[in-house]
């Protein structure tokens, strides 16, 4: 059985800087039943038609508690383009499509595979995979925010470790925290509170100028979290769906029992609500 997946692109005329990067994310629930077709040498399967353009990059992730899923990705001409390896409850494919057309994605099990599964897929246009060279702070920020829509599933190709990881301009380090799918950028670690506070305010001003009035701002004074303190300025997207947010934070580890190298840290966190 084949289903049609509709991929929607949203053009935000009031925010032209975001329109330069197109990243989408979708999630659906499915089920393999006795009514689904079984083909000898292929398996029991459910299929989805996906219209794609040449150069778009996709990441498909299938998960099931009921059976071992496999993903098979078929070109518009009907040839198997990519397929996942069987590896327990999760199957995934990360690839770039070479041609435009109606591609088909199959969720496949064996003859005894029945039960529910979930499918997540992230998609990015050809110009949204690699950050343009010499991008300024706002362009880099908006590139990262665009990928937050897909929980950074397309942000770092795990098969192309030669590519340098995108860092916000001026950051010393950056990484994806896979515990909550957040992008974390570390700008400063110091024992000087005044230095940390100054950079914290400067970063908040920079982020505010990049995002404009289409994002809400919430300020939080020092709050205790476990045995350390946090001050933050959070920018949240004004949307009816799961919102993205940018959080500029100042961390005070001075009273913490844990052994941190420095007393204060200034960071920027970017994510989307689950």
Residue 187 tokens read as 């700008």
Instruction: Assess whether 233 and 198 both reside in one domain.
Output: yes
pLDDT at position 18: 47
Instruction: Assess whether 164 and 221 both reside in one domain.
Output: yes
Query: What's the CATH code of the domain at 23?
Result: 2.60.120.380
- Euclidean distance between CA atoms 152 and 21, whole angstroms: 13
- Euclidean distance between CA atoms 115 and 110, whole angstroms: 12
Supply the range of the domain harboring residue 80. 2-128
Decide which of 67, 99, 128 is a domain's last residue: 128
Contact 274, 182 (CB under 8 A): no
Residue range 79-95, pLDDT digits in tens: 999 999 867 899 999 99
Decide which of 94, 128, 162 is a domain's last residue: 128
Start-to-end CA span in the chain (Å): 30
pLDDT reading at 6 higher than 60: no
pLDDT at position 19: 52
Instruction: Assess whether 91 and 60 both reside in one domain.
Output: yes
Decide which of 81, 108, 128 is a domain's last residue: 128
Residue range 101-153, pLDDT digits in tens: 999 999 999 999 999 999 999 999 999 999 999 999 999 999 999 999 999 99
pLDDT at position 163: 58
pLDDT tier at 2 (50, 70, 90 boundaries)? low
Instruction: Assess whether 119 and 13 both reside in one domain.
Output: yes
Instruction: Assess whether 219 and 106 both reside in one domain.
Output: no
pLDDT at position 5: 52
The stretches of 68-136 forming alpha helices (DSSP H) are none
Supply the pTM of this predicted model: 0.86
Contact 186, 251 (CB under 8 A): no
pLDDT reading at 240 higher than 90: no
Closest listed residue to residue 262, CA positions, set 168, 196, 201, 197? 196
Instruction: Assess whether 244 and 220 both reside in one domain.
Output: yes
Domain count, the chain: 2
Instruction: Assess whether 40 and 161 both reside in one domain.
Output: no
């Amino acid at each position: 059985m084949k289903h049609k997946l509709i991929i929607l692109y949203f053009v935000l005329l009031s925010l032209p800087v975001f329109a330069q990067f197109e990243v989408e994310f979708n999630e659906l629930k499915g089920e393999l039943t006795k009514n689904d077709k079984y083909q000898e040498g292929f398996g029991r399967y459910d299929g989805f038609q996906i219209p794609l353009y040449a150069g778009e990059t996709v990441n498909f992730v299938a998960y099931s508690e009921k059976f071992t899923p496999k993903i098979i990705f078929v070109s518009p001409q009907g040839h198997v383009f990519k397929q996942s390896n069987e590896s327990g409850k999760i199957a995934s494919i990360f690839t770039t499509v070479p041609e435009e057309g109606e591609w088909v994605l199959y969720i496949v099990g064996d003859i005894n595979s029945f039960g529910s599964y979930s499918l997540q897929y992230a998609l990015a246009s050809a110009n949204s995979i690699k950050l343009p060279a010499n991008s300024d702070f706002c362009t880099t920020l908006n590139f990262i925010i665009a990928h937050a829509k897909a929980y950074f599933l397309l942000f770092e190709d795990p098969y192309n470790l030669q590519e340098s990881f995108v860092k916000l301009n001026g950051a010393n380090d950056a990484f994806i925290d896979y515990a909550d799918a957040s992008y974390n950028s570390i700008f400063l670690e110091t024992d000087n509170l005044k230095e940390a506070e100054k950079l914290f305010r400067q970063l908040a001003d920079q982020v505010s100028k990049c995002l404009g009035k289409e994002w809400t701002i919430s300020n939080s004074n020092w709050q205790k979290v476990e045995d350390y303190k946090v001050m933050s300025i959070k920018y949240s997207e004004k949307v009816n769906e799961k919102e993205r947010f940018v959080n500029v934070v100042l961390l005070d580890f001075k009273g913490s029992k844990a052994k941190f190298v420095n007393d204060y840290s200034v960071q920027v966190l970017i994510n989307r609500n689950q």
